[in-house]
Amino acid sequence: MGTQDSRTINSFGRIVNFIPELAVAVTTHDTNTLQAGLLFVGVGGDVTATPSGQSTTVVFKNVPSGTFLPIYIKLVHTDTTATDMLICY
């Protein structure tokens, strides 16, 4: 019996893997970077973050509870209103 290829390719031709192996609670901070990973939002709200591939800050508005943001994040800022977040990598 053959194996199924479970890779997902994004629009930039990069392999996207949504099956993290580790999760660590996030403490928001305006300068301390995290190990880049997918952000899980436990309780919804706005997420002010810096994606791993850029130096500018973006705001993800009204992120629902129980959501993984499908972008690698390296910094979650203190003005984030979402709570109970995990960085998964």
What was the pLDDT predicted at 8? 63
DSSP string, 72-86: EEEEE-TT---EEEE
- This prediction has a pTM of 0.79
What was the pLDDT predicted at 89? 84
How many Å apart are CA 65 and CA 55, to the nearest integer?
Answer: 26
What was the pLDDT predicted at 19? 73
Mean pLDDT by 10 residues, the chain (89 residues): 54 67 93 91 97 94 94 95 95
What was the pLDDT predicted at 9? 66
Two tokens, residue 63: 């992120």
Report domain extents, the chain: 20-88
Burial of 63 (0-12, 13-18, 19+ CB in 10 A): buried
What was the pLDDT predicted at 3? 45
